[in-house]
Amino acid sequence: MSTSATTEQHQPQPNIDPLSDEKLGTNPDNLYARRIASGLVIPSDEARRWYREQFGRDLGDFNLADLNLPRHMNNFLQEEKNKDLTLVHERIHFSPAPRGREFDVLVDTQFQDGWFWYPITRNGEVVDPDVKAIRGQYEDRIEKLLKDEMGITTSGFKSYYEE
């Protein structure tokens, strides 16, 4: 194969600032993200159950109260009385995971940094199998620790775009 044929097949990509109007204007159905967060999903009803059992009160019907659940879970792991939990020493973080009008909790276990163009979805979930993170043994371990030490059951593994 000649050098010119190789050059024609693999033209260099233009050097365009990802935030420039030129790039943003190419496809109005795409958004821009700086990273992908992946992890185990705790459904909002399960997170609310944990909160009710932990603190003895209900969050009520106001769905935006779900946004506070990750903070309460992170604080739980920071409390001195819980320092003997194995889960405290893991590199995890609880964050909101949008699901329509409700918010599940995402137990962040993996991050992919970089620049991602993604199609608009109703909740920012990664649907492209070539980009989506893969669940591994670490997530299996964290799932077991969540069940054993916090009494929380997860519903699967998902990835979300983050701006």
Q: Which pLDDT band, with edges at 50, 70 and 90, does 46 fall under?
A: very high
> b vs e for 85-106, b when ≥16 Cβ sit within 10 Å of the residue's Cβ?
bebeebebbbbbbbbeeebbbb
3 state SS of 141: helix
Listing DSSP states for 24-37 in one string gives HTT-TTEEEEEEEE
| Residues 152/42, Cβ–Cβ less than 8 Å | yes
Token pair in block for residue 118: 């993604």
Choice between 142 and 59, residue whose per-residue pLDDT is larger: 142
77-84: long-range contacts (C-beta < 8 A, 24 or more apart)?
A: none
pTM listed for this prediction: 0.75
Mean pLDDT of 53-64: 81
- Interval 100-133: pLDDT, tens: 666 889 999 999 888 777 666 667 888 888 888 9
